[in-house]
Structure 1
């Protein structure tokens, strides 16, 4: 089993890169395996099931996004924290992770596993890193928790609207309005 674990650890980042580039919905193991230089049978040997592989990819994608937020320096205030968090959520590096999350969340809404469980865990980690960033930026914990919930929900809405938004001006204004609204939570 140690070889299986080593192979999983080796393939998970590469499989995540593949899924981030090609999407989750309609994922086929044969092209993924070919991109990894193996066979679909070997993938299933090391990951047990396609769902197990998908869960590993979703956890890896979420971990990358969380690491990007954790790497942010302290924000000067709550308003700036919203803008700083948006800079990560809206970055070219993070956008594929966000798109993957939306695909998984959609499948989770249909009650499909592993999506329900993985998205629930991803939400906890994502909001937790928002709260940690806000606290690091001297926002009191009770306000940080409330603000993180509002920020997370608004960011998801903005990301869902992204393909429909012709200009970035509306999104920039929405983020500025969000920053003002969230700053009001701080009094």
Structure 2
């Protein structure tokens, strides 16, 4: 009798494998069969949780968003408001190789945002979550009337760094990203 499968663990494994496939081989490689091969099993390994590609994208989006709150809460334990904002922004940047790989996968999906694969919904949900996180971290640090514009600015900042790292990873090492982040926080008066 096979051992019971922890649904959350398996969904995370599928999600991580999906982002690996996207970053290494592009959106065309993200098929149920390709994902099952990446995971070392048959298609039912994936279809047990996600019936098709559209459902897969929706599921990995939901899984990632659920994990975000837990990850950030752990990182921010004991931090004050300014530290929490810095921690969040560092978390949003691709500061290590695993994050660079994941961001490359997301960048590769951009060209398919208007397809029938629910990729557009992926980007809408992710953007909504990032803006929600930024807004919650900025409240109390910047004047209330400046929160929306500061959220916009920080979304452009983080997206720009992510794209720059995806395009030129050797030019945008951790030190350079953190230096730019520090400058940005100083400009905003929240360093």
Alignment TM-score > 0.5, same fold: yes
- Give yes or no for contact 1:69–1:129 (8 Å, CA) kept in 2: no
Which residue of structure 2 lines up, in the alignment, with residue 53 of structure 1? 56
Q: State whether structure 2 residue 98 is matched by structure 1 residue 101.
A: no
- Give yes or no for contact 1:127–1:152 (8 Å, CA) kept in 2: yes
Partner-residue secondary structure (3-state), 1:127: helix
Deviations 1:100-150 (A, max 9, x none): 333333421x44430111211111111101211223x64454433332221
Q: Distance in 1 between matches of 2:40 and 2:156?
A: 39
Q: Distance in 2 between matches of 1:160 and 1:101?
A: 10
Which residue of structure 2 lines up, in the alignment, with residue 134 of structure 1? 138
- Give yes or no for contact 2:20–2:102 (8 Å, CA) kept in 1: no
Which residue of structure 2 lines up, in the alignment, with residue 3 of structure 1? none
Which residue of structure 2 lines up, in the alignment, with residue 89 of structure 1? 92
Structure 1 residue 59: Cα displacement? 2.6
Q: 1:180 aligns with which of 156, 178, 186?
A: 186
Q: 2:122 aligns with which of 118, 142, 158?
A: 118
- Give yes or no for contact 2:31–2:53 (8 Å, CA) kept in 1: no
Q: Distance in 1 between matches of 2:69 and 2:148?
A: 16
- Give yes or no for contact 1:65–1:94 (8 Å, CA) kept in 2: no
Q: Distance in 1 between matches of 2:126 and 2:148?
A: 16
Give structure 1 stretches of 5+ with no counterpart: 1-5
Which residue of structure 2 lines up, in the alignment, with residue 29 of structure 1? 32
- TM-score w.r.t. length of structure 2: 0.70
CA RMSD of aligned residues (A): 3.2
Q: State whether structure 2 residue 164 is matched by structure 1 residue 161.
A: yes
Q: Hey, which bits of structure 1, 4+ residues long, moved more than 6 A?
A: none
Which residue of structure 2 lines up, in the alignment, with residue 68 of structure 1? 71
Give structure 2 stretches of 5+ with no counterpart: none
Partner-residue secondary structure (3-state), 1:123: helix
- Give yes or no for contact 1:33–1:40 (8 Å, CA) kept in 2: yes
